[in-house]
Amino acid sequence: MLHTFDFGELRIPANVSGAPQPAPGGHIVPAGPLALLHPFGDTEFYRHGWNSWSPSGWARTDGETIGIKNSPGRLLTADDAANETPHAHSGAAVGAVAGEGGNVLLVGALGLGSPRVGADGNVLWGRGEEDAADWFVAYGPEAVVFADYADLLSARLGRRSGRAGAVWSSWYSYFEGIDEELVARTVADLAGYPFDVVQLDDGWEPIVGDWTAGPDFPSGMAATARTISDAGFTPGLWLAPLIALPGSEFARTRPDLLVQDDHGEPLVTGYNWGSHYYSLDTTRDEVKDHLREVFERVVGWGFRYLKLDFMYAGAVAGRRSTSLHREAVYREAVEHIRSVVGDSVYLLGCGVPMIPSVGVFDGARVGPDVGAFWDNAERVGDPSGVGARNSIVASLNRTWMKRLYEVDPDAVYFRSARNLLDDGERQALRDAAAILEFRSTSDPIAWLNAAERAHLAEWIQETAVIEQTGRYAFRIDGRAVDLTPIVTGTAATDAASLVV
Ligand code: 9PG
């Protein structure tokens, strides 16, 4: 039906699927395709990435789109490959076009069904694979309409209250090279540094898909959890419970429990560890039982903070035992995990589909992996590539998501050793993390000099007052911090570290 949205001085003609109702800050439009004829001509469009690693940001409608280009394997892993439009501006669930005087026109889905929002110089549109979610339509100051959208979304999907606190993670120092002695030594060195969580990342398990203690943890995972808790920290553990590498016992013995392709073979749902991998079909009772067993085991070991990674793979298009929409399938799976671990275990989502994770996860990664270098030399121009700059840019474009869960921009560095980031770049990372209000690092104390140790000790206890003064400009405890040059690619530090 035709409808004219009335935003005071601005009237927007639209095609909608049902009669809009007034809502705080805007209008709620019933599920179904919608298209708004905006008067702004070519302008900026806010594009939102589907999962933690998917690029988000503002781009001109008459310019290059934001996204992962020319790499189907990367796209499958780090974005919604089924819906990506490399030559047209679109994103997942929410989008906005810039109007006049700092106002934006926003369309945002209030639920699941792989909603998509796109724009050009005439139209801002929304539609979903499944018409399952109402839309929020609003016009007003950028920060206000995004906040109103987030509040409506969490009113429908929930908002958890868990707080991670200060986290030490093993990934950005040791990567997969962890073993129980190294962990014990690292934890002993952390004495006197009041971290809340010490989280083991990838490398403890024999292979992705089989969640038992690997050969480098001969005393078992409960022993390492005890080492961590005896030192006064909450034990944390990384898992990728919805995927399995082809060589895992799970994939070898139960291929029938994997999401299938059209030929009845296990479907490839992403790439990492130098391999493709598969997804568990979480609609099957045996997979639900398997997940129950895995999470009872892990919590039984003593881990109370779980980083659940590569979770998007539970929401990719493929054949499952039911025809439920893939995002609904995912949500059921993570709700099941939540019911097994209980309310007091902190769940950090990584590689999660952002909207379907609201209300179940306490925190979510909002960008690609950070690295001890500024730009990604391997994949120049891929905003989902590992690196400090990409991580900062993605995270700053998702500050509005703080209202949905804790937002994790990834680790910061204090170390100058084994680090290509200069002081200014390390400071930019810490500023972004302060703005997002999440604190994690991977620096082993043994890698820090005296000044760096002092700096770390101070940071662990710090809580800064954050004020936003512009899209990418803030005051952190009164100190003006403008990260615009980093986001727009004009930072002085940028040219110096661009390795080709
Ligand atoms: C462990 C790591 C760390 C890290 C996670 C995740 O897009 N990708 O292909 C992609 C691959 C790996 C990856 C992120 C993105 O790293 O983000 O913090 O836990 O797994 O293997």
For residues 143-182, one letter each, b for 16 or more C-beta atoms within 10 angstroms of the residue's C-beta and e for the rest, the string is: ebbbbbbbebbbeebeebebebbbbbbbbbbbeeebbbee
**How is domain 166-462 classified at the CATH fold level?**
TIM Barrel (3.20.20)
Taking only the tens place, the pLDDT of each residue in 59-83 is: 999 999 999 999 999 999 999 999 9
What was the pLDDT predicted at 402?
98
pLDDT at 410 over 70: yes
Taking Cα atoms as reference points, which of 486, 348, 361 lies closest to residue 424? 486
Q: What is the average per-residue pLDDT within 394-411?
A: 98
Q: Name the pLDDT band for 496 (thresholds 50, 70, 90).
A: very low
Cβ-in-10-Å burial (0-12, 13-18, 19+) of 70 comes to exposed
Cα of 442 from ligand 1 centre, angstroms: 15
Closest CA to 372 of 422, 301, 321: 422
Closest ligand 1 atom, CA of 273?
A: 21
Which of 242, 245, 272, 390 for a ligand 1 pocket mutation test, highest count of atoms within 8 Å of Cβ?
272
**pLDDT for 281-290, tens place per residue?**
999 999 999 9
Q: What residues contact 407, with CB distance under 8 A and at least 6 apart?
A: 363, 364, 366, 395, 398, 399, 401, 436, 437, 438
User: What are the domain boundaries of the chain?
Assistant: 2-157, 166-462
Q: Strands, DSSP E only, in 254-320? A: 270-272, 275-279, 305-308
Q: Other CB atoms closer than 10 Å to residue 500's CB: what's the count? A: 5
369 is catalytic: yes
* Whether the Cβ atoms of residue 277 and residue 318 lie closer than 8 Å to each other: no
The Å distance, Cα 71 to ligand 1 centre, comes to 17
Q: Please name the amino acid found at residue 363.
A: G
> At 387, which amino acid appears?
G
Residue 495 has pLDDT above 80, yes or no: no
pLDDT of 316 above 60:
yes
Tell me the mean pLDDT in the region 269-285.
98
pLDDT digit string (tens) for 84-126?
999 999 999 999 999 999 999 999 999 999 999 999 999 999 9
- Residue 491 pLDDT level (bands cut at 50, 70, 90): low
Q: What is the pLDDT of residue 498?
A: 41
Residue 171 Cα to ligand 1 middle (Å): 9
Q: Which residues are CB-contacts of 258 (< 8 A; sequence separation ≥ 6)? A: 244, 251, 266, 267, 278, 279, 280, 281
DSSP 65: P
Beta-strand pair 305-308/234-239: parallel
Q: How far apart are CA 79 and CA 312, in angstroms?
A: 9
Kindly state if the Cβ of 312 falls inside 6 Å of ligand 1. Answer: no
Rounded CA separation 62/39 (Å): 15
Cα(193) to centroid(ligand 1), Å: 27
**494 has pLDDT over 50:** no
The pLDDT value given to residue 379: 81
Q: What is the mean pLDDT of residues 436-459?
A: 98
Is residue 9 scored above 80 in pLDDT? yes
Please write the tens of the pLDDT for every residue from 348-385. Answer: 999 999 999 999 999 999 999 999 999 988 888 899 99
φ and ψ of 485, to 5 deg: -60, -30
Residue of 350, 382, 440 to mutate, ligand 1, most atoms within 8 A of C-beta: 350
408 lines ligand 1 (CB under 6 A): no
Cβ pair 456, 193 in contact under 8 A: yes
If one residue of 238, 309, 384, 408 were mutated to test the ligand 1 pocket, choosing by the most ligand atoms within 8 A of its CB, it would be 309
169: phi then psi, degrees, rounded to nearest 5: -120, 150
CB 388, CB 429: distance < 8 Å: yes
Q: How confident is the model at residue 497 (pLDDT cuts 50, 70, 90)?
A: very low
Question: Three-state SS for 135?
Answer: strand
Rounded to two decimals, the pTM is: 0.97
Contacts of 448 (CB under 8 A, 6+ apart): 414, 415, 417, 456
- Is the confidence at residue 46, as pLDDT, over 60? yes
Q: 123: helix, coil or strand? A: strand
Element (H, E) at 307: strand 305-308
Condensed to tens digits (0 to 9), the pLDDT of residues 212-228 reads: 999 999 999 999 999 99
Q: Are 334 and 266 in contact (CB under 8 A)?
A: no
- Bridge partners of 126? 34, 117
Give the separation between CA 150 and CA 10, rounded to whole angstroms: 23
Q: Is 171 in the pocket of ligand 1 (CB under 6 A)?
A: yes
What is the distance of C-alpha 403 from the center of its chain? Answer: 14
Cα end-to-end span (Å), the chain: 52
Sequence-distant (6+) residues with CB within 8 A of 165 are: 195, 196, 197, 439
| pLDDT tens string 134-173 | 999 999 999 999 999 999 999 999 999 999 999 999 999 9
Q: How far apart are CA 301 and CA 393, in angstroms?
A: 37
- Ligand 1 midpoint to CA 304 (Å): 21
Contact 369 CB / ligand 1 (< 6 Å): yes
What is the C-alpha to C-alpha distance for residues 307 and 305, in angstroms, rounded to an integer?
7
Q: What share of the chain is helix, strand, coil (3-state, %, to 5)?
A: 30, 25, 45
**pLDDT confidence tier of residue 500, bands split at 50, 70 and 90:** very low
Q: Beta strand pairing status for 89-92 and 57-60?
A: unpaired
Q: How confident is the model at residue 443 (pLDDT cuts 50, 70, 90)?
A: very high
Burial group, residue 2, by CB count within 10 angstroms (0-12, 13-18, 19+): exposed
CA distance 359 to 347: 11
